[in-house]
Amino acid sequence: MEPFYQGALDSLCGVYNIINAVKKTTKNIDSENLFAEIINHLDNKKNLSEIMLKGINRQTLSGIFNDVVGDKVKISSPFWSKPNTSLDLF
């Protein structure tokens, strides 16, 4: 039997991506605290269990950036209105 990998049983890859991006672009970020802030935000604003089972959509990601991360990093989303942008162009 193969072991499970991080994220195999939950759909929090979007949360991890946000934390990793903030960690790469910001000095002195407390990743565990940021994770807790995001989870609390999702628990208060959304259905956390549904997100853990089904994943995070673009609107929820936007809410995390606006409500939790926005004061920690400068956010830009030039391709927001162009969801079919190729990876090469992105």
Interval 45-66: pLDDT, tens: 888 888 888 888 888 988 898 8
The range of the structural domain enclosing residue 40 comes to 13-69
- Which residue is listed with tokens 């830009």? 76
In angstroms, the CA 66 to CA 60 distance is: 10
Q: Is the pLDDT of residue 75 over 90?
A: no
Domain count of the chain? Answer: 1
Give a yes or no: residue 43 inside a domain: yes
Q: Decide: 37 and 68 in contact? Cβ < 8 Å.
A: yes
Q: Is the pLDDT of residue 74 over 80?
A: no
Give a yes or no: residue 65 inside a domain: yes
Give a yes or no: residue 17 inside a domain: yes
Question: Pick the residue with more confidence: 55 or 34?
Answer: 34
In angstroms, the CA 83 to CA 19 distance is: 22
pLDDT band of residue 90 (cuts 50, 70, 90) is low
Give a yes or no: residue 3 inside a domain: no
In angstroms, the CA 61 to CA 15 distance is: 8
Give a yes or no: residue 77 inside a domain: no
